[in-house]
Structure 1
Amino acid sequence: MTRAPTHSGPKTAQAKQPPPMTAATLILRDPLFRAIAAMAALYGVVNACIYPYLSLIAVERVGISDGTLAFVLAIASAAAVLASVLFGILADQIGNRRLIALMTVSATVLGTLLMVIAPLPGVMLLAHGLLIPMGTAIFGQIFALNNLATQNHPAQRDALQATVRAVVSAAFLLTLLFWTWGLGQGANRGGFDVMAVYASATGAAVLLVAIIWRGWPRPGREPWTDRPLGLNLRAALIELSRPANAFRLAALGAIGGLPMLYIILTPLIFSATPERSLSDVALMVGLVAGFEVPFMLALPRLQKRLSRQSLILGGALIYGGFVTLLALYPDGSWLWLLPVLAGLGAAPILTLPIGYWQDLMQGRPGTAAALMALQRLAGDLLSAASFALGTALGGYTSAALLGGGLAMLGAVALWLADRKAKPAG
Structure 2
Amino acid sequence: MTTLLAANLFFNGTSYAATLPYAGIAAIDGLGFSSGDYALLLSISALVGLVASVGLGFLSDRVGDRRVLVLFAALMGALGFGLIYVAPSSLSYIIAYCVIVPFGGALFGQSFGYARAYYNARQPERAEFMITVLRMVFSASWVLMPPIAGWVAATYKVFDVYGLAAAAYLGSALIFLILLREPMARIGTAETKASGEAAADGIAPAMLMGIVGIVLISVALRLSGTAAPLAIIGDIGGTLADVGLYSGLAALLEIPFTLAWGFAALRWRKHTLIVWCGLIYALYMFLFTQAHSVSDVLWLQLINAIAVAGLMSLPISYLQEAIHGRVGLSTSLLDVVFVLAGLLSAGIFGLMASSTGYVPMFWIAGVLSTLGAVVLFLAHRVIGPRVAPAN
TM-score (norm 1): 0.76
Cα distance change, pair 222–396 in 1 and its aligned pair in 2 (3 A): closer
Give SS of 2:88's match: coil
Could you say which residue in structure 2 is the equivalent of 1:19?
none
Q: How does 1:121-136 map to 2 (within 5 A)?
A: 121-136=90-105
Could you say which residue in structure 1 is the equivalent of 2:161?
197
Mapped pair 1:148 → 2:114: no
Mapped pair 1:375 → 2:334: no
Contact 2:116 2:327 in 1 (8 A): yes
Mapped pair 1:180 → 2:162: no
Could you say which residue in structure 1 is the equivalent of 2:249?
287
For 1:277, the aligned partner's letter is: G
Q: Could you tell me how far apart the structure 2 residues matched to 1:268 and 1:183 are?
A: 14
Contact 1:256 1:375 in 2 (8 A): yes
Q: Could you tell me how far apart the structure 2 residues matched to 1:402 and 1:386 are?
A: 13
Unaligned stretches of 5+ in structure 2? none
Question: 1:85 Cα deviation (Å)?
Answer: 0.5
Could you say which residue in structure 2 is the equivalent of 1:345?
307
- Once the two structures are superposed, residues 64-84 of structure 1 have per-residue CA deviations (whole angstroms, 9 ceiling, x without a partner) of 555543333222111112101
Mapped pair 1:405 → 2:367: no
For 1:206, the aligned partner's letter is: L
- Once the two structures are superposed, residues 22-69 of structure 1 have per-residue CA deviations (whole angstroms, 9 ceiling, x without a partner) of xxxxxxxxxx11111111011112222333333333355556555543
Could you say which residue in structure 2 is the equivalent of 1:189?
none
Mapped pair 1:277 → 2:223: no
Q: How does 1:296-311 map to 2 (within 5 A)?
A: 296-311=258-273
For residue 136 of structure 2, the aligned residue among 161, 166, 183 is 166
Question: 1:245 Cα deviation (Å)?
Answer: 5.1
Matched pairs, number: 377
Unaligned stretches of 5+ in structure 1? 1-31, 187-191, 229-234
Mapped pair 1:74 → 2:34: no
Question: 1:254 Cα deviation (Å)?
Answer: 1.4
Question: 1:256 Cα deviation (Å)?
Answer: 2.2
Q: Could you tell me how far apart the structure 1 residues matched to 2:234 and 2:170 are?
A: 42
- Once the two structures are superposed, residues 345-376 of structure 1 have per-residue CA deviations (whole angstroms, 9 ceiling, x without a partner) of 22222111111111222221211122112222
Give SS of 2:268's match: coil
Question: 1:117 Cα deviation (Å)?
Answer: 3.7
Q: Could you tell me how far apart the structure 2 residues matched to 1:127 and 1:389 are?
A: 24
Q: Could you tell me how far apart the structure 1 residues matched to 2:42 and 2:252 are?
A: 27
Q: Could you tell me how far apart the structure 1 residues matched to 2:37 and 2:329 are?
A: 33
Contact 1:322 1:342 in 2 (8 A): yes
TM-score (norm 2): 0.82
Cα distance change, pair 404–148 in 1 and its aligned pair in 2 (3 A): closer
92-101 or 131-140, which deviates more: 92-101
For 2:329, the aligned partner's letter is: T
Question: 1:308 Cα deviation (Å)?
Answer: 0.9
41-50 or 79-88, which deviates more: 41-50
Question: 1:115 Cα deviation (Å)?
Answer: 2.8
Q: Could you tell me how far apart the structure 2 residues matched to 1:263 and 1:292 are?
A: 15
Q: Could you tell me how far apart the structure 2 residues matched to 1:340 and 1:98 are?
A: 37
Q: Could you tell me how far apart the structure 2 residues matched to 1:263 and 1:100 are?
A: 28
Mapped pair 1:226 → 2:192: yes
Cα distance change, pair 423–337 in 1 and its aligned pair in 2 (3 A): farther
Which one has the largest radius of gyration?
Answer: 1
Q: Could you tell me how far apart the structure 2 residues matched to 1:389 and 1:72 are?
A: 14
Could you say which residue in structure 2 is the equivalent of 1:362?
324
Contact 1:391 1:398 in 2 (8 A): no
Q: Could you tell me how far apart the structure 2 residues matched to 1:391 and 1:194 are?
A: 22
- Once the two structures are superposed, residues 307-360 of structure 1 have per-residue CA deviations (whole angstroms, 9 ceiling, x without a partner) of 111111221122222212222465799765432222112222211111111122
Cα distance change, pair 243–318 in 1 and its aligned pair in 2 (3 A): same
